[in-house]
Amino acid sequence: MPDKKTVDRARRAERSGKSPSTQAGEFVRAEIEHVRDRKHGARSTRQAIAIGLSKARRAGVKLPPPAKGDASGRTRKQAERDLARGQETGRERPSAARARGAKKALAKEGRSAASRESLARQARAAARKRTAAERSAAAKRAARTRKAAARRK
């Protein structure tokens, strides 16, 4: 269960017109902090990011599942389930035994996934996969939300 501050920050981002990936970034940031604070570990930086994205979807962030070629079928299916869970209302509590088991497994993993070097390596690898056009389009979208915020002020 994500902490209240993280959910509040994501909601604020949603209200100010930020994209779902920006909203989900709050959950990813919180997950990296959990690894750094030794609440649990992660096998890799990608795993820590995936946990954050999953929590974001379950908390109601409308982040679409990865496209067909971007992730395995299993990952995509899980993302779809997480998204559906986040859109439900009046849902039941998750199994305590299952949550304990997941936490116990993560506690055995290392902490280096949240190091500056690991995060930088992951960011560079992700950036290399994107084309110049994709990067340009993302920058233009970001500029649009900034301009709107400036106009409101």
Residue 50 structure tokens:
């995936």
Amino acid in position 57: R
Mean pLDDT in residue range 13-35: 92
- The confidence score (pLDDT) of residue 66 equals 92
What is the per-residue pLDDT across 119-144, written as a single tens digit (0 to 9) for each? 999 999 999 999 999 989 988 887 88
- The confidence score (pLDDT) of residue 139 equals 86
What is the per-residue pLDDT across 41-71, written as a single tens digit (0 to 9) for each? 999 999 999 999 999 999 999 999 999 988 8
pTM of the predicted model, to two decimals? 0.82
- The confidence score (pLDDT) of residue 16 equals 87
Long-range Cβ pairs for the range 142-147 (8 Å, 24+): 145/16, 145/17, 145/18, 145/19
Specify whether the CB–CB gap between 56 and 83 falls below 8 A: no
Cα four-point dihedral sign 14, 6, 124, 102: negative
Helices (H) and strands (E) in the chain, counts: 7, 0
- The confidence score (pLDDT) of residue 148 equals 66
- Residue 46's closest CA among 68, 80, 70? 70
CA atoms of 101 and 131, how far apart (whole Å): 40
Specify whether the CB–CB gap between 145 and 16 falls below 8 A: yes
- The confidence score (pLDDT) of residue 141 equals 81
CA atoms of 33 and 5, how far apart (whole Å): 13
- The confidence score (pLDDT) of residue 18 equals 86
pLDDT at 151 over 80: no
CA atoms of 76 and 72, how far apart (whole Å): 6
pLDDT at 149 over 70: no
